Copies of this chain bind each other. A is one copy, B any other.
Amino acid sequence: MILLITIPAVISVLALLSAFAFNRSVVRKAQGTDRMKEIQGYIRSGAFTFMVSEAKVMLITMAVIGAVLWILFYWEIAVAFWIGALLSLAAGFIGMNAATHANARTTHAARKSFKDALNVAFSGGSVMGLSVAGLALIGLVIVVVLFKKWFEPSTLHIETRYLFGVQALGVNFIRGALIVSAYSMGASLVALFDRVGGGIYTKAADMAADMVGKVEMHIEEDDPRNPATIADNVGDNVGDVGGLGADLLESFIGAIISVMVMVMYIYVGRANAPLAGLINQLGFADTASLDAGYWWVALAPLVIVAGGIVASMLAIFYIRFSKRQEGMQSVLMNGTRLAAVLTAVTTFLFCFFSPLSLNIFWEVILGLIAGVGIGTFSEYYTSSRFRPTRELAKMNQSGPAVGVTEGLALGMMSTFLPVILIAAAILVSYQLGGLIGVAFTAMGMLSFVAMTVAVDTYGPIADNAGGIATMSKLPPDVRERTDTLDSIGNTTAAIGKGFAIGSAAFAALGLIAAFMWSAIGSADMVMPPQLPIVGQIAAQFSPSGSIIEVGAFVIAGLMLGAMVPYVFSALLIRGVSRTSNILVQEIRRQFSENPKIMSGEEMADYNRCITITAHGGLSKMFLPAMIAVLTPIVFGLIFGRYALGGFLIGALLSAIQLAIFCANSGGAMDNAKKFIEEGNFGGKNSEAHGAAVTGDTVGDPLKDTVGPSLDILIKLMSVIALVFASLFPLYPIFM
């Protein structure tokens, strides 16, 4: 066990040290002109002000929820929850700190050469990538070492805690499973706040800046006269950097812990016939050999993702220290491929030299392939290199209404291929290893997350760098270089988005499965059930009055669960449009009250715009977050665990389709606009362009606020069900 836990511990420390080194290498670069320093200062202080205010809200929420966990369960649960939450917060801050250091320095490097600019931007992204993976893993190592007792096979059992000493109020759980679940829940909750708050911030600023700047005043993007331009650049950092980091951190943790929880339930229920079958699929001949090899399987997720981190580090070094001056697009793609292949190799070595089944290797490989596949499909539907987005661009010639309508249709259509792939991957992984095979596949998809985040984060840095170039009135070739930088990251970023959606589906399924095992297993104070998930729910179905009729409640749960993502999305979209509406009025006010802003004689009041946007993001993030937290708890308390299983599956189904629809509609509308700007169908300022700008604005909150937040929503709801499962009755309270 000591060796097995040492590997991830050492590797996560190495990852954090590399992140630190990358950060230093960025900070040492020159910042450029005074004007650039000044703008960078505005952006940094705006971003930090927002993140700190957001963190305050989160810390209070965390304190309350942690206290509830302490009272209901044990102090260890609360502590694990806090560790998860704090590390997630930290990941957001570290990444954003690096990004706001790297932006102006990327601009400055771009004055020299394209390659220099890439190096700075990618180093900034790598800080985030390595921090996310390193923090997630070191946190799990800490939790496992700190509470080692509760992961020991000898202490693994279903225990009961009587609330307030009342025997009727007993809750049942495996403490080790609850500890890692609470850790994951902490990370998820912070991620949801980050994504929702940051997502509303970034898109409200973006929409308002565009609507007044581009449409009404006919000034370019990032024109320093636009009062909202700094807020827009702050948004890139708090939404696209901070939000993304926290998001992938929580996906990563969720995927790991759903395997760990299942392993613990399999171990506790190993004498029970159906679970005994899973023992074979994990690679053990019988329960005795499972006893002997327990730590191998219990810590397998940590070791496998540690291999993924090593693979990502090597790939990052390959890209960062590549000597090539041109064709950086293919260097990035090769880096991503390298990370995937190396992850496969390390996983194979681990499975080969451990007592575990080689099927686990295949499940991880399947995750890697499915992730790349979903990403490729996203790219197909949203890149202007392919037919769908080109056709959308063409249809914009018929005006904004047709453009938006076609964009929505494209998004709906784009569910086709990814969902088939997800369904196929579920089938194959299930055949390979049952439900825990599905969980291993989710983990495989996320195993080289450090690389994915690095590439995803470098895009917004390049975007910011371009903004700073324009605002500092640098020569146009600087902006051109940063634009190229931005655009070559797009392909890999599309693949990153595919991983986010695909892994969300798998990780949520793993968490729901773990919930059903734990919920029904512990309820009866016996073994986990014979029939997991829907089976266990529905074994209670019966038209006869003699058996408890929970069937209709499952269907009602499915219906209500499927509705939650819609209401959640509506709140997010409204958060964006209403915040941006207030901001639009402020920008108009500044322009009309002070004509010297437009003539360039006086500076716009950036701070008021930043304050308004931040207020909007903060005030509108709480209700959606509470929907995610409270609906599973309230539903579970009233309708019981079986119906809650239906509720979660309904939410999963609905959220996956909506997330793909929103992400690809918005992505395609954005790229159709860019394609027109490149000179197609009339180019800039043509009728088609005007229509495409409207489409892009409609698509913005869909792709950058709603889509990513839905991914977190379903995982957060599932992990909350997993943590609170033992509180809920089995059947509806009124039956």
A710 CB → nearest B CB, Å:
11
Selected from B276, B424, B574, the residue in CB contact (under 8 A) with A406 is B574
Stretch at the interface among A554-562, A594-602, A723-731: A554-562
Residues in chain B near residue A650, CB distance under 8 A: 653
A408–B412 Cα distance when bound, in Å, is 14
Contact with B along A504-527 (1 / 0, CB 8 A): 010001000000000000000000
Indicate if the CB atoms of B554 and A274 lie closer than 8 Å: no
Residues in chain B near residue A576, CB distance under 8 A: 405
Residues in chain B near residue A395, CB distance under 8 A: 577-578, 581
A545 CB → nearest B CB, Å:
5
Which positions 198-254 of chain A face chain B at CB distance < 8 Å?
207, 211, 215
Residues in chain B near residue A657, CB distance under 8 A: 562-563, 566, 654
A560–B419 Cα distance when bound, in Å, is 6
- The reply on A146 being an interface residue by CB < 8 A is no
Indicate if the CB atoms of A697 and B413 lie closer than 8 Å: no
A274–B549 Cα distance when bound, in Å, is 11
What is the chain B residue whose CB lies nearest that of A413? Answer: B570
A547 CB → nearest B CB, Å:
8
Indicate if the CB atoms of B656 and A559 lie closer than 8 Å: yes
Indicate if the CB atoms of A653 and B562 lie closer than 8 Å: yes
Residues in chain B near residue A343, CB distance under 8 A: none
Which positions 517-551 of chain A face chain B at CB distance < 8 Å?
530-547, 549, 551
A532 CB → nearest B CB, Å:
6
- The reply on A280 being an interface residue by CB < 8 A is yes
A493 CB → nearest B CB, Å:
23
Selected from B274, B276, B409, the residue in CB contact (under 8 A) with A573 is B409
Indicate if the CB atoms of B567 and A551 lie closer than 8 Å: no
Indicate if the CB atoms of A542 and B551 lie closer than 8 Å: no
CB-CB under 8 A for A541 and B551, given A661-B566, A697-B401: no
Residues in chain B near residue A533, CB distance under 8 A: 538, 541, 551, 555
- The reply on A420 being an interface residue by CB < 8 A is yes
Indicate if the CB atoms of A423 and B556 lie closer than 8 Å: yes
Selected from B401, B413, B541, B545, the residue in CB contact (under 8 A) with A531 is B541
Indicate if the CB atoms of A274 and B426 lie closer than 8 Å: no
Stretch at the interface among A90-98, A294-302, A428-436, A446-454: A428-436
Which positions 386-404 of chain A face chain B at CB distance < 8 Å?
395, 398-402, 404
The residue in A399, A560, A567, A649 that gathers the most chain B C-beta atoms within 10 A of its C-beta is A399
CB-CB under 8 A for A573 and B408, given A535-B551, A559-B653: yes
A536–B534 Cα distance when bound, in Å, is 10
Residues in chain B near residue A571, CB distance under 8 A: 409, 413
Indicate if the CB atoms of A584 and B400 lie closer than 8 Å: no
Residues in chain B near residue A544, CB distance under 8 A: 273-278
Indicate if the CB atoms of A558 and B412 lie closer than 8 Å: no
Indicate if the CB atoms of B701 and A570 lie closer than 8 Å: no
Which positions 649-676 of chain A face chain B at CB distance < 8 Å?
649-650, 653-654, 656-657, 661
CB-CB under 8 A for A580 and B535, given A419-B563, A653-B650: no
Indicate if the CB atoms of A535 and B531 lie closer than 8 Å: no
- The reply on A317 being an interface residue by CB < 8 A is no
What is the chain B residue whose CB lies nearest that of A550? Answer: B535
Which positions 358-416 of chain A face chain B at CB distance < 8 Å?
395, 398-402, 404-406, 408-413, 415-416
Residues in chain B near residue A552, CB distance under 8 A: 426-427, 430-431, 438
Copies of this chain, complex-wide, total 2
Residues in chain B near residue A543, CB distance under 8 A: 274-275, 277-278, 434-435, 532
Indicate if the CB atoms of B409 and A574 lie closer than 8 Å: yes
Indicate if the CB atoms of A562 and B400 lie closer than 8 Å: no
Residues in chain B near residue A23, CB distance under 8 A: none
Indicate if the CB atoms of B549 and A540 lie closer than 8 Å: no
A430–B281 Cα distance when bound, in Å, is 40
Indicate if the CB atoms of B546 and A539 lie closer than 8 Å: no
What is the chain B residue whose CB lies nearest that of A547? Answer: B274
Residues in chain B near residue A536, CB distance under 8 A: 538, 541
CB-CB under 8 A for A415 and B558, given A398-B581, A539-B538, A549-B430: no
A430–B549 Cα distance when bound, in Å, is 9
Which positions 38-81 of chain A face chain B at CB distance < 8 Å?
none
What is the chain B residue whose CB lies nearest that of A411? Answer: B570
What is the chain B residue whose CB lies nearest that of A549? Answer: B430
- The reply on A698 being an interface residue by CB < 8 A is yes
Residues in chain B near residue A574, CB distance under 8 A: 406, 409, 413
A406 CB → nearest B CB, Å:
5
A672 CB → nearest B CB, Å:
14
The residue in A395, A505, A649, A657 that gathers the most chain B C-beta atoms within 10 A of its C-beta is A657
Indicate if the CB atoms of A535 and B532 lie closer than 8 Å: no
Residues in chain B near residue A410, CB distance under 8 A: 570
- The reply on A193 being an interface residue by CB < 8 A is no
A430–B550 Cα distance when bound, in Å, is 10
Indicate if the CB atoms of B538 and A570 lie closer than 8 Å: no
Indicate if the CB atoms of A540 and B551 lie closer than 8 Å: no
Selected from B399, B542, B563, the residue in CB contact (under 8 A) with A416 is B563
A422–B420 Cα distance when bound, in Å, is 29
Indicate if the CB atoms of A402 and B581 lie closer than 8 Å: yes
Please list 25 pairs of residues, one from A and one from B, whose beta carbons are closer than 8 Å in the complex, sorted by A's number: A215-B399, A274-B547, A277-B542, A278-B543, A398-B580, A400-B400, A404-B694, A404-B698, A405-B573, A409-B577, A412-B567, A412-B569, A413-B566, A413-B571, A416-B563, A416-B566, A419-B562, A423-B559, A435-B543, A532-B541, A532-B551, A534-B554, A535-B542, A562-B653, A562-B657
- Known pairs A211-B399, A278-B543, A430-B555. 18 more at Cβ < 8 A? A211-B398, A395-B577, A398-B577, A398-B581, A401-B694, A402-B581, A402-B697, A409-B577, A415-B563, A420-B560, A420-B563, A430-B549, A430-B551, A430-B552, A535-B542, A559-B656, A562-B657, A566-B657
A residues adjacent to B (C-beta < 8 A)? 207, 211, 215, 273-278, 280-281, 395, 398-402, 404-406, 408-413, 415-416, 419-420, 422-424, 426-427, 430-431, 434-435, 438, 505, 509, 530-547, 549, 551-556, 558-560, 562-563, 566-567, 569-571, 573-574, 576-578, 580-581, 584, 649-650, 653-654, 656-657, 661, 693-694, 697-698, 701
